[in-house]
Amino acid sequence: MRVLLVEDDRELAEAIGVGLRREQMAVDLAFDGDAGLERALAYGYDVIVLDRDLPRTCGDDICAHLVKQGCRCRVLMLTAAATIEDRVDGLHLGADDYLPKPFAFAELVARIRALFRRAQPALPPVLESMGVRLDPARRAASRGGRPLELGPKEFGALELLLAAQGRVVSAEELLERVWDEMADPFTTSVKVTISRLRRKLGDPPVIETLSQAGYRIGG
């Protein structure tokens, strides 16, 4: 899952970013409205966490612009204003959810994951194929009942491949959905991660490589 956090309180934004990465999300940060809007339009984020009170371009204007542009990402609006009217205004602008400050980090994570599920085609809560089982909510994976110790990128790649339900996933899509904007598009990170994931999954192989196309499970 790839998340954009637009928050002008740099210390808060960086702390949230660290926490979300520990939850195995790919996270980009923007510290003002202009930078946030630029990133939101440039990358295919699953969820945008958007502070309402931002310098340069406010969160309301960003949200309205994304709706006008037909952006398909889900928007979670943050604000220090906690009145019912404020929340309703934010939802009318096109936000998918609203979270007043201060908030519990666990609730933020739960709301982001709920929005991500809403943005995807209907999928079972536990992903399974060819003896591989992955539970995104519990952040647990196994094969044939054997637990798998996966790093964040390995887990993210496996989740994306299983969620594709046999569709071929390109290296570019893996890089975009599992890594963040700091990833070098010419890096071998995807190839190395898939190689490590294959070793951990064991034999017989379950990840198929299609030349010049990408990877799939259960095709």
Q: 49-53, 108-112, 124-128, 200-204: lowest mean pLDDT where?
A: 124-128
- pLDDT band at 80, cuts 50/70/90? confident
On whether both 108 and 132 belong to a single domain, the answer is no
Whole-number Å distance between alpha carbons of 168 and 161: 8
Cβ–Cβ < 8 Å for 7, 20 = no
The pLDDT value given to residue 67: 82
On whether both 76 and 101 belong to a single domain, the answer is yes
Instruction: Quickly list H helices, 105-151.
Output: 105-119
| 14-67: pLDDT as tens digits | 999 999 988 888 899 999 999 999 999 888 788 999 998 899 999 989 988 988
On whether both 10 and 61 belong to a single domain, the answer is yes
On whether both 55 and 142 belong to a single domain, the answer is no
Mean pLDDT of the chain: 87
Among 15, 157, 83, residue whose Cα is nearest residue 49 = 15
Number of structural domains found in the chain: 2
The pLDDT value given to residue 157: 93
CATH number at residue 58: 3.40.50.2300
The pLDDT value given to residue 43: 82
Domain final residue pick, 85, 119, 153? 119
Domain that holds residue 162: 127-217
The pLDDT value given to residue 81: 64
